[in-house]
């Protein structure tokens, strides 16, 4: 029986495999693709310069309600914590003792007026007689004195009537302003002593308009002056600033205010001075004591450079951006950042100039000194030459 050997076939298969491997090694490697990036051509724009401060609201007119006369508190005539109108009755002190005093004063006034009438008539009779020497000079002087005394007594009685009328009116305590009334410090039936501490009954806080106060530090003042002196910021004429409020939930308050007071001196304790704005509050959304954010509007940056926040990277020595040079390669550019502009942009205070091309998308793929492929935002990069399709 003849056996055919398979060694020649194995040798042929090995030669074919070596030939294929040799062809694969001879294929040129695909070129390294330049990373696709989107760029922004830097240009100057005019944008608002808006310093931001932590502020607190306060009543534009808070008035303590204090009893002017002593007596028993008959009635609390308002709902505690609610809005009250100017002139609205808040408390009623027992008026009966004061009404009795007024009646007595009016009676005394009538008695003195009657005395004055008698003295006037007597003087009228004595004068003609004195002129013809029918009565002595002493009788005339006595009649004149009685008249003058009666007239003075009428003035005194009239003043007493006015005093008792005032005291009676003070028993009805009204709100001097429109605002929110606090809780009552005294309860109905309590005795109120006008000369003691329990004379304070409550307070009313006016909230339309409302005041918003914030502090400006020495460093912030110096920075604003430097920006104005260098021309980076233009201040409004005559200091006409608007104050925009941002509520704790991030919503912008619909009404803007105006600055109506700035403290002329810095506080020795905090190194800052107080600024106050008056803000319309028709819907009563703002209450005294709230913390809000105050954006002071009115100044402008006439030639600002603004880039997306994502274009700015944090390096070991500060902030930096990638700039594409004319030859298409990337370089690192240190920059000095300024204020945030909106939610996505940031102001570049130094390091960039108009015409620079800043990488805004694909920053993590950039290698300094290496070329990049500039594409429109969202576009697909072009395939490099020689790459397999």
- pLDDT per residue over 56-99, tens digit each? 999 999 999 999 999 999 999 999 999 999 999 999 999 999 99
**pLDDT on residue 378:** 61
* The pTM of the whole model exceeds 0.75: no
Per residue in 243-290, pLDDT (tens digit) is: 999 999 999 999 999 999 989 888 888 889 999 999 999 999 999 999
Q: What's residue 319's pLDDT? A: 94
Q: Give span(s): CATH 2.40.420.20, the chain.
A: 36-47+303-374
User: 190 versus 271: which is more confidently predicted?
Assistant: 190
As a whole number of angstroms, the distance between CA 208 and CA 343 comes to 32
* pLDDT of 1: 40
Q: Give the DSSP H/E element, type plus range, for residue 227.
A: helix 218-229
Q: Does the pLDDT of residue 183 top 50, yes or no?
A: yes
- The CATH number corresponding to 52-59+207-301 among 3.20.20.370, 3.30.200.20, 3.60.21.10, 2.40.30.170 equals 2.40.30.170
Q: Contacts by 329-333 with C-beta closer than 8 Å and gap 24+?
A: 329/369, 329/370, 329/371, 329/372, 330/37, 330/359, 330/366, 330/367, 330/368, 330/369, 330/370, 330/371, 330/372, 331/368, 331/369, 332/368
Both tokens of 172, joined, read 């009805």
Of the chain, the percentage scoring pLDDT greater than 90 comes to: 66
Burial class, 354, CB count within 10 angstroms (exposed 0-12 / middle 13-18 / buried 19+): exposed
Helical (H) or strand (E) element with 91: strand 89-93
| b (16+ CB within 10 A) / e for 277-307 | bbbebeeeebebebebbbbbbbbbbeebbbb
Question: CATH class for domain 36-47+303-374?
Answer: mainly beta
Whether the per-residue pLDDT at 14 is higher than 60: the answer is no
Model pLDDT, residue 343: 84
Mean pLDDT, range 142-165, rounded to an integer: 95
Q: Which residue spans of the chain are classified as CATH 2.40.30.170?
A: 52-59+207-301
Average pLDDT, the chain: 88
pLDDT in tens, 320-347: 999 999 999 999 999 999 888 888 999 9
Neighbours of 130 (CB within 10 A): 18
Asked if residues 143 and 123 have their Cβ atoms less than 8 Å apart, the reply is: yes
Q: Which of 182-191, 257-266, 379-388 has the lowest mean pLDDT?
A: 379-388
- Domain 95-170 CATH superfamily: Helix hairpin bin (1.10.287.470)
Percent of the chain whose pLDDT exceeds 70: 89
208 torsion bin: left (phi>0), alpha (psi -120 to 50), beta (else): beta
> Which residues in the chain are classed under CATH 1.10.287.470?
95-170
| Dihedral pair phi/psi, residue 164, rounded to 5° | -70, -30
Per-residue pLDDT of 20-66, as tens digits, reads 445 454 444 445 678 899 999 999 999 999 999 999 999 999 999 99
Residue 368 pLDDT > 70, yes or no?
yes
């Amino acid at each position: 029986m003849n056996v055919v050997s398979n060694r020649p076939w194995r040798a042929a298969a090995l030669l074919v495999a070596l030939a294929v491997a040799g062809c694969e090694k001879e294929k040129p490697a695909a070129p390294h693709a330049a990373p696709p990036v989107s760029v922004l051509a830097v240009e100057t724009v005019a944008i608002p310069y808006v310093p931001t401060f932590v502020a607190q609201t306060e009543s534009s007119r808070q008035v303590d309600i204090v009893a002017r006369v002593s007596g028993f508190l008959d009635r609390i005539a308002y709902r505690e914590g609610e809005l009250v109108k100017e002139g609205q009755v808040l408390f009623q002190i027992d008026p009966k003792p004061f009404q009795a005093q007024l009646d007595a004063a009016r009676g005394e006034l009538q008695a003195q007026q009657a005395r004055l009438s008698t003295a006037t008539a007597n003087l009228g009779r004595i004068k003609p007689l004195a002129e013809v020497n029918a009565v002595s000079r002493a009788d005339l002087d006595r009649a004149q004195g009685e008249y003058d005394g009666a007239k003075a007594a009428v003035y005194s009685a009239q003043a007493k009537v006015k005093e008792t009328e005032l005291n009676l009116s003070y028993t009805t305590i009204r709100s001097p302003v429109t605002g929110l009334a606090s809780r009552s410090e005294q309860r109905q039936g309590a005795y109120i002593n006008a000369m003691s501490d329990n004379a304070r009954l409550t307070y009313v806080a006016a909230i339309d308009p409302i005041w918003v106060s914030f502090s400006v530090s020495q460093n912030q003042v110096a920075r604003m002056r430097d920006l104005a002196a260098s021309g980076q910021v233009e201040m409004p004429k005559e200091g006409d600033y608007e104050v925009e409020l941002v509520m704790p939930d991030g919503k912008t308050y619909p009404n803007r205010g105006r600055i109506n007071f700035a403290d002329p001196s810095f506080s020795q304790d905090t190194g800052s001075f107080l600024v106050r704005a008056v803000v319309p509050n028709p819907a009563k959304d703002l209450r005294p004591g709230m913390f809000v954010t105050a954006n002071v509007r009115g100044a402008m940056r006439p030639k600002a450079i603004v880039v997306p926040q994502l274009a700015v990277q944090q390096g070991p020595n500060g902030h930096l951006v990638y700039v594409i040079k004319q030859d298409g390669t990337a370089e690192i550019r240190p920059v000095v950042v300024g204020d945030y502009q909106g939610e996505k942009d940031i102001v570049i205070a130094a390091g960039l100039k108009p015409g620079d091309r800043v990488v805004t998308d694909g920053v993590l793929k950039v290698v300094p000194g290496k070329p990049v492929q500039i594409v429109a935002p969202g576009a697909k990069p072009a395939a490099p030459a020689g790459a397999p399709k």
